[in-house]
Amino acid sequence: MRGETARSIALHGGLIAALVLGHFLLPEYHHGNLARIMVLAAYAIGYNILFGYTGLLSLGHAMFFAAGMYGLALGIRHLGLTPGPALLAGIAAGATLSLVVGLLALRTVGVAFMIVTLMFAQAVHLTILLAGRWTRGDEGFVIQPAQRNLWGIDLSQSDARYLAALALFVLTLALCLWLVRSRFGRVLVAVRENEERTRLLGYDTWAHKLGAVVISGTLSAAAGAAYALLFGYAGASFATVQYSILPLLWVLLGGAGTVVGPFLGTLFMFYLIDWASGVTSAYMLVAGVALVLLTLFAPQGMAGLVRARLWRGLP
Amino acid sequence: MEFGPHLMLAMIEGAVMAAVLALMASGLSLVFGVMRVVNVAHGEFYMLGAVAAWVVTDLVGAGPAWSFAAALILAPLCIGTLAAAIDMSVLKRLSYDPERTIVATIGLLYILQQATLMGYGADARPVAAPFDTRIALPWVEWAQGGLALYWPWGLSVTAYKLFVIAAAIVILLGLRLLMTRSRIGLVMRATRIDGEMALAFGIPVERVYALVFGLGAGLAALAGVLVVPISQAHYLMGGDALLLSFIVVIIGGLGSLGGTIVAAILIGMGEGIVSVFFSPTLAKIIATLLVALVLVFRPQGLFGARAR
């Protein structure tokens, strides 16, 4: 067990060290890309807690991402909040929404759960469109650089942005690592493997699942709020079904139920699409082909293969 | 125009919508009922049907009536065959695992959508209706000395819209006969009730699945063909249609064909009337939330049997 811990620290510490090193070494284009990837990876980590560890497939996580994004953006734009409280407002919005959605959606199982989450997300998306007077609908709005000054740090600068994204990523990574090694996380895995038996062992599986929805939704909202703050833009397109499916894709590709999987998947998919959009305009075609091939040939994803072949204890 | 005639027009619009929805949703419901597969790419088969109708009428070019008749037969056949091929090459290899097939059909949705964008383009293209007579509608009013029938100016409907409603009724009756009276229907019902037992009795379950998936996609394509003369073919038209048919299938009870049709009429008429008189976005939000809540509190749907 101690060797395991050491290896785990080496792996995740190594990844973080590489990302810190990247800040000094990467050329400007990839520096900017990686900042974006780290924020999106935080979203994917949030998604993975529900999908990968608890085994609940949600098709509506974009509503949590959007809740965080609009909680922050509307707070700054209409209530005159400074970024600190606005960030908290975004996270609180995501936490509240995920609690409500969790209380309702968890009454269903399996396919019905997917459809219910999809529909709640659709309702949120439509609400953002309907409230176009404040949210400016699909067009979205820009948050001025002057309004993105958090504790004296100007987040519209690329250096500060990279480090802030890194801080968010490290925080979510550590939280996820701690969670899955905790008692609570182990029960989540047990729910994924056999809910009936977990209940028989005396665990309140419903409360654990609700906890997973809330943690997952809150992390996704934090990523959404950070996205709006770092890149200065909020728009309804982030609440569409596509933004619910992307984290699913990243997590599947990287490896569901692993801590580093979401980051690997996001990194790989980002550059795949980046490369593909240079070759063809229809980058979603690439995403579609990737999804079909993944379900056919590698349902455990990249980190899942590592776990199956090389290191069984990969967290 | 006054309220009464206006309401009647809205109801006809709603009935057309209900007809299209009923066709599409019964395809979705059939696939779910027999195979336990939620086909997220169902909306794309509908879109492909509409696009194929444009392609066929463009190729045939023998007057609107003949080329439309050709499209009505060819498009569903082609799309159904394509779907059966997809079933055998992708879904069969996933051994119909519910979650993995959902992910795979999401992938399929993107592939079909983008392939259409690349091959057909981003324009919405119209197809001429096979006949374009307008029929004036009468309205009853309380005039001096009793009820009087009169024809208000502008109150009319194209014959084509009535044809869509009639066609949907005929096709759905045909589907019902197929399911209840024919040998194929018997085999399908047997597979739905217990796939393993059916296999043990020598029913080629995998071929039945391919057939059902093809039939479901064909029904969606047929709905697509019928809708093009009213609202053009566009590569993004599948999304909204998919969501609405999900709503219909859930309200009607997953896998129950009768419930699906009743729900299609409810939702189609409701949507038609509400979006004529109120904001369509608000109507959609309310409908979506209502359906989500139906599913939460009554998972078997309004008319479905209790889940086993």
Instruction: Read off the pLDDT of residues B40-55 as tens digits, 9 standing for 90 and up.
Output: 899 999 999 999 988 8
Rounded to the nearest angstrom, the minimum Cα separation between B288 and chain A is 6
DSSP A78-135: HS---HHHHHHHHHHHHHHHHHHHHHHHTTS-THHHHHHHHHHHHHHHHHHHHTHHHH
Provide the percentage of residues in chain A whose pLDDT is more than 70: 90
pLDDT tens-digit readout, A279-300 = 666 677 877 888 888 878 777 7
Strands A149-150 and A153-154: antiparallel
Above 80 in pLDDT, residue B3?
A: no
- Cβ contact B297–A105 (<8 Å): no
B contacts of A123 (beta carbons < 8 Å): 285, 288-289, 292
ipTM comes to 0.72
C-alpha to C-alpha distance for A10 and B159, rounded to whole angstroms: 73
- Cβ contact A123–B114 (<8 Å): no
- B308 band by pLDDT with thresholds 50, 70 and 90: very low
Residue B98 corresponds to which tokens in the numbers above?
């519910």
Provide the percentage of residues in chain B whose pLDDT is more than 90: 15
* Predicted TM-score (pTM) above 0.90: no
CA proximity to A83, closest of A165, A157, A146: A146
pLDDT tens-digit readout, A203-225 = 888 888 898 999 999 999 999 99
pLDDT at B143: 62
Q: What is the mean pLDDT of residues B112-138?
A: 79
Q: Which residue did the predictor score with more confidence, B140 or A295?
A: A295
| Residue A304 placed within a domain | no
| Residue B217 placed within a domain | yes
Within a 10 A sphere around the Cβ of B81, how many other Cβ atoms? 14
B contacts of A250 (beta carbons < 8 Å): none
Q: With contact defined as beta carbons under 8 Å apart, do A42 and A168 qualify?
A: yes
Q: Which of A37-46, A265-274, B189-198, B240-249 has the highest mean pLDDT?
A: A37-46
pLDDT at B46: 94
Count of the separate structural domains present in chain A? 1
B92 touches chain A (CB under 8 A): no
* Among B98, B291, B296, beta carbon nearest to A105: B296
Which DSSP letter does residue A215 get? H
pLDDT tens-digit readout, B65-92 = 888 888 888 889 999 999 999 998 888 8
| Residue B302 placed within a domain | no
Instruction: Give the E-state strand segments of chain A in sequence order.
Output: 141-142, 149-150, 153-154, 233-234
| Residue A256 placed within a domain | no
B contacts of A252 (beta carbons < 8 Å): 103
pLDDT at B122: 78
- Full domain range(s) for residue B103: 3-129+158-297
Above 80 in pLDDT, residue A25?
A: no
| Residue A257 placed within a domain | no
Above 70 in pLDDT, residue B305?
A: no
C-alpha to C-alpha distance for A283 and A268, rounded to whole angstroms: 14
- Cβ contact A112–B299 (<8 Å): yes
A103 touches chain B (CB under 8 A): no
- A129 band by pLDDT with thresholds 50, 70 and 90: confident
C-alpha to C-alpha distance for B26 and B221, rounded to whole angstroms: 12
| Residue B288 placed within a domain | yes
| Residue A228 placed within a domain | yes
pLDDT at B101: 85
Rounded to the nearest angstrom, the minimum Cα separation between A167 and chain B is 32
pLDDT at A192: 85
| Residue A52 placed within a domain | yes
pLDDT tens-digit readout, B276-301 = 777 777 777 887 888 788 777 876 66
| Residue A58 placed within a domain | yes
| Residue B137 placed within a domain | no
B contacts of A299 (beta carbons < 8 Å): 100
Q: Say which range, A66-75, B16-25, B79-88, B126-135, has the weakest mean pLDDT.
A: B126-135
Count of the separate structural domains present in chain B? 1
| Residue B9 placed within a domain | yes
Q: Can you give the three-state secondary structure of chain B, one letter per residue? A: CCHHHHHHHHHHHHHHHHHHHHHHHHHHHHHHHHHCCCCCCHHHHHHHHHHHHHHHHHHHCCHHHHHHHHHHHHHHHHHHHHHHHHHHHHHHHHCCCHHHHHHHHHHHHHHHHHHHHHHHCCCCECCCCCCCCEEECCEEEEECCEEEEECCCCCEEEHHHHHHHHHHHHHHHHHHHHHHHCHHHHHHHHHHHCHHHHHHCCCCHHHHHHHHHHHHHHHHHHHHHHHHHHHCECCCCHHHHHHHHHHHHHHHCCCCHHHHHHHHHHHHHHHHHHHHHCCHHHHHHHHHHHHHHHHHHCCCCCCCCCCC
CB pairs under 8 A between A and B: 108
| Residue B232 placed within a domain | yes
- Full domain range(s) for residue A163: 1-240
pLDDT tens-digit readout, A184-204 = 888 888 888 888 888 888 788
pLDDT at A282: 66
- Cβ contact B93–A288 (<8 Å): no
pLDDT at B23: 92
Q: Say which range, A9-13, A37-41, B73-77, has the weakest mean pLDDT.
A: A9-13
| Residue B196 placed within a domain | yes
Q: Say which range, B77-81, B119-123, B151-155, B209-213, has the weakest mean pLDDT.
A: B151-155
CATH code where residue B115 lies: 1.10.3470
| Residue A156 placed within a domain | yes
